[in-house]
Amino acid sequence: MAENCSHDCSTCGADCPSRDGGASLLEKPNALSRIGRVIAVVSGKGGVGKSLVTTLLAVLAARRGKRVAILDADITGPSIPKLLGISGKAGATGDGIYPLRSKTGIEVMSINLLLERTTDPVVWRGPIIAGAVKQFWTDVVWGDVDCMFIDMPPGTGDVPLTVFQSIPVDGVVVVTSPQELVSMIVEKAVSMAAMMNMDVLGLVENYSYFVCPDCSAKHEIFGASKAAGIAAEHGIANTARIPVDAGIAKLCDEGRAEAIEAKWLEALADALLAD
Pairwise CA distance, residues 27 & 18, whole Å: 14
Structure confidence at residue 14 (pLDDT) = 57
Pairwise CA distance, residues 72 & 75, whole Å: 7
More confident residue, 48 or 180: 48
Rounded to a whole number, what is the largest CA-CA distance in the chain?
64
Query: Which pLDDT tens digit goes with each residue over 113-168?
Result: 999 888 888 888 888 999 999 999 999 999 999 999 999 998 878 898 999 999 99
Pairwise CA distance, residues 35 & 29, whole Å: 8
Structure confidence at residue 21 (pLDDT) = 47
Mean pLDDT to the nearest integer, 94-110: 97
Structure confidence at residue 2 (pLDDT) = 47
Enter the pTM of the model.
Answer: 0.89
**DSSP 8-class letter at 27:** P
CA 25-2-134 angle, to 5 degrees, is 30
Pairwise CA distance, residues 272 & 57, whole Å: 9
Structure confidence at residue 219 (pLDDT) = 94
Q: What percent of the chain has pLDDT over 90?
A: 66
Confidence band, pLDDT 50/70/90 cuts, at residue 17: very low
Classified as helix, coil or strand, 57 is: helix
Sheet-wide strand order for 107-109: 100-101, 107-109, 68-72, 144-151, 34-42, 171-176, 200-205, 239-241
Q: Give the list of residues 6+ apart from residue 11 with CB closer than 8 angstroms, or none.
A: none
Mean pLDDT of the chain: 89
